[in-house]
Amino acid sequence: MSPTARIGLFMIVALAVLGLFIVKIEEIPLGAKAGRQRVQAVFPSVAGLDEKSPVRIAGVRVGIVESIALQGDRALVTLALDPGVRLHRGASAEVTSLGMLGDKYVELYPGDLAAPDLEPGAVLGGTSPIGFDQLLRTADDIGADIKAVTASLRGSLGGPEGSQRLDEIVENIRQLTADVKAMVAANRGNVDQTMENFRAFSATLREELPKIADKLNALADRVDGVVAENRENLRGSIDNIKDLSGRLRTTADNLNAITSKIASGEGTIGKLVNDEETVNNLNSTLKSVEGGVESLRNTLGRAERWRLDLNLRAEALPGVDDSRTAFGLDLHTTDRRFFRLELVDSPWGKVRTTTETVTAVYPDGRREVVTYERTKTTDTYTVNAQVGYHLRDLTVRAGLFESTGGVGLDAALLRQRLRLSLEAYDWGREIRPPHLRLESRYFFSHNLFAYAGWDDPARKDRRSVLFGGGITWRDEDLKYLLGTAAAFGN
């Protein structure tokens, strides 16, 4: 191996190790951790917390602190969480530390697992631990209070006077206990008598309860008799109720008369209600407003469900010693339909064949018609403009393929990590069959992919294997990149 090759190999290994260190130190998400979700939380204080600090749930590391910003007099912290983390309504966050002097980190409480998922864009409420300085100030205050109490006790109990007071307190307590003991001994007979009275009361109650029940039954019988004797009075009350219902009927008749006048167009309200032109204008206005609101709701609802992906790919064609690049976007308007628009730098461009007819006139008057065919390759930049439909693991595409009509079929395997594609386009070219393209694409993550295949196998002068790679930026990636660019710009 030549010295130049060795130096090049050494530089490649050094760059690879440097890239690995950068990924580890900066905690760039790759593989299963790619596509982290962002959640914001507000804390009263984040003293000791830095960017790249860990985020944990139940002590398990599930993400990092992406950024810390000031929002008014509080701290707004953006958390980058692993894709599998789910937060529910009622979730909260807390700044804590590992032990007394450990590093600060954010502890997440995901909320009740039976509650609905946290809404996108929701800001979590956060709490901060008591700072060490605040703890010292509290200890100082407690020490000052204890010092004041001890000073007061020293002033009250110190010296000969304080000793005399303490002796008096002890003597009073001794005298009090002696008095209580004497009182209990003197009234022991009364206490025993009270207990005996309670015992006799319970025995009497046990004997008298049946008698009380009999008396209540007799009282109920008397009440029945009184009701029977006053039945006429009850009838009078019912007649009064009937009279009241008749008056209510009269009131209802008056209301019917008023509504009849309105229905016949009498009075201001009646004219307003019965004017057909006014009613039609009002109904038309309400229908227009209702239609506009419904159209606006549908438009906003569809726009919120749209998803945009940016794609950049490049490939090599060793068989023809050339390459192909493409940059474009996929607009997903529904879960099953998307639109693709790409600008492709094609190695062949767009080929156009024109026919020209020339009539030659000789001096002897003889005419000869000559036909020429000219093939012209125009701009190498072509366009892909396609519409696609997802049918479970199959995707059907149709539209422009490198500025010519065509169709494509994609099959997703291995949980969407492997994709097989077949494209057929340029059906109008002279050489049959049309331009075919076979491709297998493997996604290392949701952003990076590599692919290989066979391009135009039916044409000997253009057939070639192909291999290349690309990158895809999805909605969340674009938001993160734009947010990072805005942060650097500020």
Instruction: With respect to residue 90, please indicate whether it lies within any of the assigned structural domains.
Output: yes
Partnered with residue 322 across adjacent β-strands are 317
Which CATH number goes with the domain that contains 102? 2.40.30
| Whether residues 110 and 160 fall in one domain | no
Instruction: With respect to residue 296, please indicate whether it lies within any of the assigned structural domains.
Output: no
Out of 99, 129, 159, a domain closes at: 129
Tokens for 446?
């949701």
Residue 453 DSSP class: E
| Whether residues 431 and 330 fall in one domain | yes
| Whether residues 154 and 48 fall in one domain | no
Instruction: With respect to residue 245, please indicate whether it lies within any of the assigned structural domains.
Output: no
SS3 of 1, please? coil
Partnered with residue 472 across adjacent β-strands are 311
Note the pLDDT of residue 375: 66
Find tokens 């099953």 and name the residue: 336
| Whether residues 312 and 422 fall in one domain | yes
Q: Could you give the CA distance from residue 160 to residue 165 in angstroms, rounded to a whole number? A: 9
| Whether residues 60 and 171 fall in one domain | no
Note the pLDDT of residue 232: 72
Note the pLDDT of residue 455: 93
| Whether residues 177 and 319 fall in one domain | no
| Whether residues 426 and 459 fall in one domain | yes
| Whether residues 177 and 48 fall in one domain | no
Neighbours of 179 (CB within 10 A): 10
Find tokens 């003197």 and name the residue: 186
Q: Could you give the CA distance from residue 442 to residue 467 in angstroms, rounded to a whole number? A: 12
Contacts 24+ apart (CB under 8 A), 390-395: 390/335, 390/336, 390/337, 390/338, 391/336
Q: Which amino acid is at 294?
A: E
| Whether residues 51 and 154 fall in one domain | no
Q: Could you give the CA distance from residue 383 to residue 235 in angstroms, rounded to a whole number? A: 96
Angle at 9 between CA 6 and CA 12, to 5 degrees: 150
Instruction: With respect to residue 2, please indicate whether it lies within any of the assigned structural domains.
Output: no
Residue 130 half-sphere exposure, CB side, CA atoms within 13 Å? Answer: 6
Q: Could you give the CA distance from residue 318 to residue 117 in angstroms, rounded to a whole number? A: 51
User: Tens of pLDDT along the chain (490 residues)?
Assistant: 677 777 777 788 878 777 776 656 556 555 555 568 889 999 998 888 888 889 999 989 988 898 999 989 999 999 988 888 889 988 999 998 877 667 889 999 988 989 988 888 888 889 887 766 677 788 788 888 888 888 777 777 667 777 777 788 888 898 898 888 888 788 877 777 877 887 888 788 788 888 887 888 888 788 777 767 777 776 777 777 777 777 777 877 777 777 777 667 666 566 555 666 666 665 676 677 567 657 656 655 565 678 888 999 999 988 888 888 999 999 998 889 999 999 998 887 666 667 778 777 778 878 887 777 776 666 578 899 999 999 988 999 999 998 889 999 999 998 889 999 999 998 887 777 888 999 999 999 888 999 999 999 888 888 899 999 999 988 777 666 666 665 555 5
Out of 168, 186, 204, a domain closes at: 186
Instruction: With respect to residue 219, please indicate whether it lies within any of the assigned structural domains.
Output: no
DSSP string of 109-163? Answer: E---TTSPBPPTT-EEEEE-PPPHHHHHHHHHHHHHHHHHHHHHHHHHHSHHHHH
Q: pTM of the entire structure?
A: 0.38
Asked if 384 and 342 touch (Cβ cutoff 8 Å), the reply is yes
The whole domain housing 68 covers 32-129
DSSP string of 232-294? Answer: HHHHHHHHHHHHHHHHHHHHHHHHHHHHHHHHHT-HHHHHHHH-HHHHHHHHHHHHHHHHHHH
Asked if 400 and 387 touch (Cβ cutoff 8 Å), the reply is no
| Whether residues 45 and 177 fall in one domain | no
Report the run of H or E that residue 329 belongs to, with start and end: strand 322-332
Contacts 24+ apart (CB under 8 A), 63-70: 63/36, 64/27, 65/106, 66/38, 67/487
Asked if 440 and 422 touch (Cβ cutoff 8 Å), the reply is no
Note the pLDDT of residue 477: 72
Q: Tell me: the pLDDT tens digits for 345-380?
A: 888 766 666 777 877 777 887 888 777 777 666 657
Q: Could you give the CA distance from residue 68 to residue 442 in angstroms, rounded to a whole number? A: 36
Instruction: With respect to residue 94, please indicate whether it lies within any of the assigned structural domains.
Output: yes
CA distance to 412, 413, 466, per residue, from 440 (Å): 10, 10, 10
Q: Tell me: the pLDDT tens digits for 230-278?
A: 777 767 777 777 777 777 778 777 777 777 776 676 665 665 556 666 6
Q: Do the bridges between strand 104-109 and strand 54-57 make them parallel or antiparallel, or are there none, so unpaired?
A: parallel
Per the structure, how many domains does the chain have?
Answer: 3
| Whether residues 322 and 345 fall in one domain | yes
| Whether residues 118 and 141 fall in one domain | no
Find tokens 């000793």 and name the residue: 163
Instruction: With respect to residue 381, please indicate whether it lies within any of the assigned structural domains.
Output: yes
Instruction: With respect to residue 213, please indicate whether it lies within any of the assigned structural domains.
Output: no
